[in-house]
Amino acid sequence: MRYASLRQLFTAMFFLCALVFANLSSAAEPLPLLLSEDFSQGFDRWQTTDPEASQSFWEIIDVEAGSQANPALRVTGKSNYEPPYRSPHSIALLRDTLVGNFELTLRMQSTDQVSGNHRDLCLFWGYQDPANFYYVHFGAKADPRACQIFLVNDADRTKITVDEATGTPWTNDWHNVKIVRNVEDGSIEVYFDDMDTPLMTACDKTFTWGQIGVGTFDNHGNFDDLKLYGVEVEKKEK
């Protein structure tokens, strides 16, 4: 009987371990690619917060890359758009795509060298309307208004950063950036050049779906080679 009990125990442990590893394997499955954007086909897949004057603040430019000129999206400062609450002015949102869990990678170049500590570019997600979304501000030096992860929820932006940075190490070159969002546990991870250690993190479950976007508070810069991996969802009632 003792041996039978041991066999039953080992059998149960085997199946438990198999179940755990199966769940881990499933959780580790990569998210599907939803978008690969190099702006070679223009800007039609994007909508801006200032559509009537978008050509004044957004343009496709040619960026030298070795012996070739590659297209990139350029933003040229603070647009005429006035948000309902204190938050960035110049935003370009990906049309017709709402995501829950996602991983966003892209290259960014800050070309504004005169803005000091608040030299910035921004990325947006969970965007449901002009008064409800998340964004990360890549400011040159951190303070309560710069180089933070923010929530806009029917009120002026609120800092929700958990692990803060001292600042964004901007140079005049291109930089690799990544955002990883998990709506189940609320985690937000923001990476800058170092793809292994986040520059900033946050945890918030206010918005579990929305559009993604690029932009700035009021500076100049370029975006290129954007890839969005994620789970596409339907619009939900708030």
CATH number for the domain including 62? 2.60.120.560
pLDDT of residue 118: 78
- Please report, as a single letter, which amino acid is at residue 80: N
Note whether 62 and 88 are same-domain residues: yes
pLDDT band of 233, cuts 50, 70, 90? very high
Total tally of structural domains belonging to the chain: 2
pLDDT band of 129, cuts 50, 70, 90? very high
Q: How far is CA 177 from the centre of its chain?
A: 8
Round to whole Å and give the CA distance between 52 and 210: 23
Whether 237 is in a domain gets the answer no
Note whether 109 and 19 are same-domain residues: no
As a whole number, mean pLDDT of residues 151-166 equals: 98
pLDDT band of 237, cuts 50, 70, 90? confident
Q: How far apart are the first and last CA of the chain?
A: 59
Q: Each residue of 42-99: pLDDT tens digit?
A: 999 999 998 876 678 899 999 875 556 789 999 998 898 999 999 999 999 999 999 9
Contact 188, 101 (CB under 8 A): no
Note whether 48 and 110 are same-domain residues: yes
Note whether 26 and 116 are same-domain residues: no
Note whether 14 and 129 are same-domain residues: no
Note whether 10 and 72 are same-domain residues: no
Whether 63 is in a domain gets the answer yes
Note whether 22 and 36 are same-domain residues: no
Note whether 37 and 90 are same-domain residues: yes
Whether 160 is in a domain gets the answer yes
Note whether 167 and 95 are same-domain residues: yes
Alpha-carbon distances, residue 106 vs 132, 154, 211, 226, 237 (angstroms): 23, 29, 16, 4, 30
pLDDT band of 141, cuts 50, 70, 90? very high
Residue 6's domain comprises: 1-30
Contact 197, 178 (CB under 8 A): no
